Each structure stands twice: as C-alpha cells, then as structure tokens.
Structure 1
C-alpha cells in the first residue's frame, strides 16, 4: 500500500512539473516581456527549427570546396575555370531534373486559370522544334516527346533559361497555396472548388491545340491566382479565401484570426535555379568522402573513381550515366546497350550521388542561375559566389498603405532598384509615387518583368540623391568591361549569356565533369538542356547535428519584475 502511494505521488509530482513548465512562457531576453501572451500585445516567438524542404527537394549541407577543382584538363582551351576555394551555404536541391510531367502540370494550371490568354500559354510551351536536325529523322520526338505518356518521366527539354525562371515562380506559389489550403488556413481545395475560386481545380480548360472550353476561371470571375508575396503582404484575404484554421491574432486579445506571416515559418522559401557554385558543389558530393574535415578522395565525376563504369560486383561494367561514348555511339550494341538509353533517360535513372541527387552527370545539361563570364574566377566572392544580380524593388500601388501593385496575373510588379540603401520614409513615398506616375505615362514597363539597366541605360531615375552618382541595379557585368555594342561582332558573351552544366545524352564524357561550363543566351533552348530547382535554406547550416560534439551553451536567465 505504501509503494502504491509512493508511485501515485511520483506520477502526480511529474504531472504537476510538466504543467508548470508548460505554463512558463518564454521571455524577451532584453525587455523581460512575455512572448505569446494575449494580454500584453501578443509579442510572438516561434519554435526555432530547420524548416522542412519543399516537395521534391533534398537537403545539401554546405561547406568549403575548390570551385573548378575537379577539372583535370582544359581540352577546350577556354581558360575559363581556374581553381578557387569558396564556401557554399547549406541549401535544398531537386532530387531529380524537372520532368515532362512536371511541365505538363504547369501547362494544365495555365489552361484552367487563364484559358483565354493564348500568349501566356504559348510562351510557356517548350520549343519541341529543338529536336529537328537537317540530317536526322527526329520528327517523332518533335510530336511526341513532351506529351506522350511514354516520355512523362523524362526530363523536359526545349526550355529556355527565362522559361525555367517563370516555372520556379509558379512552383513556389502553387506549393505555398497547397500548404495553406491543406492546413485549412485558406479555404480547402474542396470548398474552393464549390465556390468556383481561381486555381481551385475547376475552370475552363484548353485542348491540345490551345482552344478554350467553357468553365469558371480567374479571368471569368475577376479573381487573381495566389501569389506568395501578395499573400504575405496581406492582400489575399476576406470572405471565400480565409480558412477556419488561420492563426490566432494575439495582438487583438486572441479574439480574431489573421493570415500567415513569414514569422510563422509555414510557407516555403522560393524555388529558384541553383547558382553555378551550388550546382557544382552538389554534383561533386564530396560529403561522402569526408571524415573529420579531411577529404579522403577527390572526384572527376559525381561518383568515385576515374572511370564511367560501375566497379560493384552486381552491376560491374554498367555505365553510370547517360552520355555519348563516342562518335555515332549513343546507346551501344543491340542486345547489350551500354547506358540503356539513346536520347534522354527517365529522371530517376542510374545511381544517385552521395547527396541523393540523380543524373548530376549526363542525361541533360542543366541551367544554373549565373551569367557567364570567361574570367569569373578573377572576380569571385569567397562566400556564396554568384554573378547575375539584378536588384529590384516591388512597386507600391498605395505607398502610404504599403499595398503592392499587381500585374494582370496577380504577381507584384518589380522595378529596377533605385537606391543602394534604405531610404527615408518621405523619400521612399516620393520615389514610389514617381514610379507610379512614370508607369501611367508609359515610360517604364508595367508587365511585372524587371528592367535591366545595362551599361548604357539612362541614369536619371537611378541617381543616388545626395552624391549625384548613378546607381546601377544591374550587376551582371560587375567589374568587367563587356561592351554590349560589340555583341555578335567580336564576342558572343553579354549579360544575357547563362551557364549550363553537367553534360547530356549527346555529349562526350568530358562534359560530365562538374567543373565543365558552357553558355547560351537566356532565351535559347536545346534538346540537350533541362534544369532542376533549388531553394535557400534558412537558419543553422548543420543538417544532422545529432551525435556530433557541440560546445555547451547556457540558457538565458529568467527575469522577474517582482525581484
């Protein structure tokens, strides 16, 4: 009986301790104010943790590596990839290349959302004519490669760098909209479909030739599709949009609900193209060869060894990627195909590298975000190197209320940045009003696209107020002297030249080296170039801290005003 009493007391004591610890809310370390308390204004503090990656992504733990270091020879004599040590921060990357099915999802969304906008649909179509060759019978690929079910898991090709960028924006918005609807923060898909809301799965559709059929759409009902920036700015809310599970607004005593904010940590960072440094780092995947900060073995390809065939007993002799072994040999001998592919192969083919990424060598080359320069190694930052910045500012339709101006697709309109620092409030209001007046007068574009300044751009709108010097928001050509006037005459390199990497089904093994780099204009496409997306990781860079030594850190002391 005594033992039973003792056990009961211990249970009650533990339960009381648990409830007591739950009731002690966190405090501000600098003011002593209690967080998440509806009685003091509702100061918020959320659990600090790694956000989960968006759909399709895997985490890539960053670190230092030698950019260009895996290239053992310069067979093209371009002298465009001299070795330099850099640091890449942790990020997320697509496990596979973007497939034909992924792109058809994109086209379908345009069908049901903007069926009357033939220009938008046409501009999103890949150029299937990239398969045509003067002396090859590739017409079946022109007709079938994108849409036939047999190719649905193959990488999409014929996509320009500009189209890949548009897909990244679309994918971000659809992922975040789905999160909000699945959680009931916005109206669920089922309820939105009943209401005929834009992007709810209902609406007009377009047949294979692009003709619209009847239904309710964003154009028809006057609603615009979900956009992450517009939502976070509080411009997508109200009846028919708000779900039942919106967060409680503690600043209003917990009696009202509000839209999700960035601070909630619910929405994903934007999908984007990886930088060249990120792509090369992820392809090399040296993490699998590292112990105690020592790299035991370098790599020439995304796998170990100098060869392109598997050394493992069960798969010995099989080629590890999809590439052209030699002139006229895209597949091998019938009955013993060397890489089991003639053109592209499904995106989930061959063995993944040590980061879990498929086809980082061969299959299709992949667009990266960087603008090409032969001498990029001469002007490079140690941390997160990238060339291609075009700084922009979201235009405010109502500067005093902070409302973003939207284009006809519901996206924020972005103008070239006009300052290199945060302006005074009065200067910001004046600048935004000037931008709106200029847009109304038709002197700057209002399509939502950025306006590159270039070396010869007018400097009046971008003049820094106090110094009188011109501010150029276009840093793609930073620290070089490329003359756009000579483009096509003495050089094929300009600010629209974008890098692709990785080698393809129609390339020799040399181009599968992660350091190899080539370029095309951003509006061009090829049957040998596709892409995959990346996403920035926020917070601590260590992916798996468990089981690793860490220096002890004391928790902040609790403050009491009653002391």
Structure 2
C-alpha cells in the first residue's frame, strides 16, 4: 500500500513540475501574458520589444473629493426670475462624471498652502510670490459696521480653522488647485517608494526645485529615487526588464489635476439628483431609471417645496443652510438662533445634499472656472459646457520644455496662425467665441463704460451667509472680476474623472452576455 502511495505522490510531483514548466514564455498556471490584439506581440515582455502596459485600474479618489456620476439635467433658473437678470434661462445639458470637494476649502487648508510657499520660497527674490498668495482680510471691512475683529482674527485664529477661507481671488483659488495637485502626486510617489522620503524634510528654500507634476513627467524635475524604485519587486520595468525609477502617467499612479469646477459641474453637483434616481446594482442586473426632478429649488431638497424631513417630521422648520432670512436677520433671536452663524459657519455644517456635499447652498458663494456671459445658455455646448478657453501649448522656444521661476513648465498661448487650418477651432483665444468679437471686428463689451462684464469676469455660485434665499438656488448666477475678492466668496476644488463614467467597479457602456445563435438548417 505504501509503495503504491509513493508512486502516486511521484506522479503528482511530475504533473506539478510540468505545470510550473509551462510558466516559460509568458505562461503561468495556464494563463498567458497579455498581448496586442492588433499585432499579437506580448506586452511587458523583454523578449518581444519590451512594450510596457499597466494593468487596467480604477482611478482612486483624491483627498477630500467625492465622486459625482455625470448625467443630464436642466441647468438654469427653476423659479421666477425675480431679479429680471435673464442670465440663467433653463436648458438641458449633459455633465461628464467628475470629482468635487466634499466641503469648501477652509482657513486651515489655505494656511497649509501659505506655509508651504513661505517655506519653499523664503528668499527675498520671492517676496512678491509670498505676498501674492495672501488672502485679503480687509474684505471684512465696511464703512458702517464694526468688523475689525473679523479682519484681525478670522483667517488666523484656530477657532476659525474649519471655516471657509474668504478674501481669495479667482486667480489665487486657481493657484491653490495647482499646488494641491503637486502635493498629492508627490506624496503618492513618496509612499510608493519612487521618491526618497527624506525629500520632505529638505524643502526649505528650494524655490524653483520643488516638485511639479508636469515637470516630473517631462523629465525636467529629477527626483531622488526611493527604496521602492530600486527594489527588484518594483512592478515598473524598463524594456530590458530592469526596474524603472521614473513614473509615467500611463502607470496609473499619478492623479489628474485639481482645478476649479465648471459652472455646469458645480450646478449639477449642487442639485444632487442621484438620490432621486434608482441606482444600478453592482452586478448591473438592475439598471437605473431616467427620473429627473426639473423643478428642484435648493441643493438639499427632494421635492419642489424645498422641504426635507424624517418620517416623524423632526427636521421640519429647521435651517438647512447658512443664509440671511431677511433685512437685519442673519441668525435669529438669542436663545433660538435659526442657523447659529452670524457670518460663516464650519465647512462641514448643515445637511449634505444627495452627493454628500456640504454647503452647496449658503455659507459662502463659490468661484467656478467659467468666464461670465449673460447668455451662456444660448452659446455653450450642451455637453461639458464651459466658456473661458484660451488654448495653450508647451513653450518650446529653446527646443525643449523649460521651467519658470516657480518650477512649473512654461506654456504659451496658441496663435491664430497655428489654429487657422483646424476644423474644430480657428483661434487660440475663444473666450468671446459666438459672442460678437469673433464675428464683428472691434466689438467689445466696453468694460467700465457700458457694462461691468469683461473677459476677466468669473461666475460665482451658491449664495452666501449675507444673501436672501433666492440666491441659494443652484440655478442663480452672479459674477466678480477674477482679481477681486469678497467676505462672501470662497471656493472648492474639482478633478477630472478618467475611465468609466459610471464609477469604479462599473464599465462604460452596456455589456450583454454572449449567446450562441442556433443556425437554422436549410
């Protein structure tokens, strides 16, 4: 019996050896290496050219962001235009999926940004850079109000750490987004061992030599590799099969840029319609239905009256946003305050909307990316609507990309000569496209003479602590010059979604199971 068992064990060992032997030439337990569907050559095979292809992977959510599944909605006013602006005429548009901050950017976040700038750019030659990033605390001043305590304490005192930053211009908000992109991607490379972790301790006074995502990808920023990059377990390989120390965007490690949301994205996210549509199950056996409430007034509501309550009605009558109820009433009566905030409130206060976003109505109005035009609804595309494009390209004057004094890659604007033979656009600056200037030479808005609207006017959305309820509707819109700021205006960041628009774990398109077709016999 024992003799027979030994022969049996020996047979098993022989079969295992044969199985492991099949690992040669790209096979592993019967699975072959990925190969090209168009050439048949293996991917990631040093013996067949070494073309490296990362495994398909989902986009992770960046710090502070919430995934917003895109869709179609009615953008614009959903109640009577009592201001007679005629600048938010309802229209159907489609928004691609994207990410947006769960809350407004707070004082503590912006102070973190200033700390980094003051540390990295501490030389006298960078004094203008440091000063240019400071928020304008004087926005709290008023000729007939005692607001000096807010001027002195609001931005710096720890009691206001979690309150929304204000006094920030559109340009400053945009720069914050650029900085945030680089810090998030730099940390991702450090955590995965592709950049030496000691570089974090040596940022004081490095100025131009700070990490910038685009500079890194173009090879203009030389990072000191970390342990992970030098390890034989490094999953990134050169064509010859040796570990690769530099990361490319194709590897799926770096995130897309943080940026300001477009007006369409912001308004869509504010409405939070996702709660009103049955979502598909994870196995996609049940698809969602196209149910859209086009008359929703506020970001927190689930019906046309703006009411939201539990089964027992315990929330009825309470404030769901920070706003001004009426003349002279910014927070109610002592002992029974209605919103507990005379000015701003913490960024995570009040009830979140359908996407889990806080203060999309009230607290502070928010900068969005778009240049303001009263009739944007009649001009812009019905998919990914946005006005403000002034196309750029990398400046190759010296024959290669170069960095500016802040460590960022230099760009230049696309010229009309370069664009004139294209079919999809013929000018580099298309901010005024279909708005007069591109059709009639010399036509302009006459800023400061006949209007306050210019190519530097940016849209603000959402209403603030000092606004009546009308301005809290996501469809309302106003504008402010991008160099200006206010005590009622803050911002939040957004990020592009790459890959499936349905979200992680769900493929784009609809896949149907393949069924064998019975061939009819003639």
**TM-score scaled by length of structure 2:** 0.85
**Counterparts in 2 of 1:166 and 1:22: CA distance versus 1, 3 Å:** farther
| 1:228 aligned residue | 213
Task: Note if contact 2:238-2:244 (Cα within 8 Å) is conserved in structure 1.
Answer: no
Aligned equivalents of 2:93, 2:29: Cα separation in 1: 45
**Does 2:502 align with 1:495?**
no
Task: Note if contact 1:392-1:417 (Cα within 8 Å) is conserved in structure 2.
Answer: yes
Task: Note if contact 1:308-1:321 (Cα within 8 Å) is conserved in structure 2.
Answer: no
Alignment of 1:131-142 (within 5 A): 131-142=140-151
Deviation per residue, 1:180-230 (Å, 9 max, x gap): 112110111xx2256x3xx3xxx2xxxxxxxxxxxxx114xxx61011111
Alignment of 1:171-210 (within 5 A): 171-188=180-197, 191-192=198-199, 196=202, 199=203, 203=204
Task: Note if contact 1:128-1:158 (Cα within 8 Å) is conserved in structure 2.
Answer: yes
| 1:48 aligned residue | 56
Task: Note if contact 1:290-1:296 (Cα within 8 Å) is conserved in structure 2.
Answer: no
Alignment of 1:71-110 (within 5 A): 71-110=78-117
**Does 2:163 align with 1:157?**
no
Aligned equivalents of 1:491, 1:73: Cα separation in 2: 24
| 2:244 aligned residue | 257
Aligned equivalents of 2:307, 2:71: Cα separation in 1: 29
Task: Note if contact 2:324-2:466 (Cα within 8 Å) is conserved in structure 1.
Answer: yes
**Does 2:299 align with 1:302?**
yes
Task: Note if contact 1:310-1:317 (Cα within 8 Å) is conserved in structure 2.
Answer: no
Aligned equivalents of 1:349, 1:249: Cα separation in 2: 44
Instruction: Identify the match of residue 497 of structure 2 among 526, 529, 537.
Output: 537
| 1:278 aligned residue | 265
Aligned equivalents of 2:307, 2:31: Cα separation in 1: 61
Deviation per residue, 1:508-529 (Å, 9 max, x gap): 0010100000001110100000
Aligned equivalents of 1:515, 1:166: Cα separation in 2: 27
Aligned equivalents of 1:310, 1:334: Cα separation in 2: 25
Aligned equivalents of 1:486, 1:192: Cα separation in 2: 51
Q: Secondary structure at the match of 1:369?
A: strand
Instruction: Identify the match of residue 488 of structure 2 among 523, 528, 541.
Output: 528
| 1:67 aligned residue | 75
Instruction: Identify the match of residue 225 of structure 2 among 231, 237, 242.
Output: 242
Deviation at 1:257, TM superposition (A): 2.3
**Counterparts in 2 of 1:540 and 1:463: CA distance versus 1, 3 Å:** closer
Deviation at 1:477, TM superposition (A): 1.1
**Counterparts in 2 of 1:545 and 1:225: CA distance versus 1, 3 Å:** closer
Unaligned 5+ segments in structure 2 are 279-288, 438-442, 515-522
Aligned equivalents of 1:547, 1:395: Cα separation in 2: 37
Aligned equivalents of 1:374, 1:485: Cα separation in 2: 12
Aligned equivalents of 1:143, 1:181: Cα separation in 2: 38
Aligned equivalents of 1:405, 1:267: Cα separation in 2: 21
Q: How many residues of Structure 1 are paired with residues of Structure 2 in the alignment?
A: 479
Deviation at 1:84, TM superposition (A): 1.1
**TM-score scaled by length of structure 1:** 0.79
Instruction: Identify the match of residue 269 of structure 1 among 232, 244, 256.
Output: 256
| 2:309 aligned residue | 311
**Counterparts in 2 of 1:369 and 1:281: CA distance versus 1, 3 Å:** same
| 1:440 aligned residue | none
Aligned equivalents of 1:377, 1:547: Cα separation in 2: 32
Deviation at 1:418, TM superposition (A): 2.5
Aligned equivalents of 1:546, 1:254: Cα separation in 2: 33
Task: Note if contact 1:286-1:298 (Cα within 8 Å) is conserved in structure 2.
Answer: no
Deviation per residue, 1:392-449 (Å, 9 max, x gap): 11112542xxx31211111111111136xxxxxxxxxxxxxxxxxxxxxxxxxxxxxx
Task: Note if contact 2:262-2:370 (Cα within 8 Å) is conserved in structure 1.
Answer: yes
**Counterparts in 2 of 1:21 and 1:263: CA distance versus 1, 3 Å:** farther
Deviation at 1:297, TM superposition (A): 7.4
Task: Note if contact 2:58-2:504 (Cα within 8 Å) is conserved in structure 1.
Answer: no
**Counterparts in 2 of 1:382 and 1:193: CA distance versus 1, 3 Å:** closer
Instruction: Identify the match of residue 111 of structure 1 among 112, 118, 123.
Output: 118
Unaligned 5+ segments in structure 1 are 204-216, 420-461, 555-563
**Does 2:206 align with 1:218?**
yes
**Counterparts in 2 of 1:59 and 1:249: CA distance versus 1, 3 Å:** closer
**Does 2:353 align with 1:349?**
no
Task: Note if contact 1:101-1:153 (Cα within 8 Å) is conserved in structure 2.
Answer: yes
Aligned equivalents of 1:173, 1:166: Cα separation in 2: 11
Aligned equivalents of 2:403, 2:227: Cα separation in 1: 27
Deviation at 1:494, TM superposition (A): 1.2
Aligned equivalents of 2:379, 2:420: Cα separation in 1: 29
**Counterparts in 2 of 1:22 and 1:178: CA distance versus 1, 3 Å:** farther
Deviation per residue, 1:110-168 (Å, 9 max, x gap): 11101122111111000110000111100000000101000010000000111111111
Aligned equivalents of 2:487, 2:61: Cα separation in 1: 30
| 1:127 aligned residue | 136
| 1:455 aligned residue | none
Deviation at 1:310, TM superposition (A): 4.9
Deviation at 1:388, TM superposition (A): 0.4
Aligned equivalents of 1:224, 1:236: Cα separation in 2: 7
**Does 2:62 align with 1:39?**
no
Aligned equivalents of 1:12, 1:21: Cα separation in 2: 10
CA RMSD across the alignment? 3.0
**Does 2:472 align with 1:512?**
yes
**Counterparts in 2 of 1:497 and 1:311: CA distance versus 1, 3 Å:** same
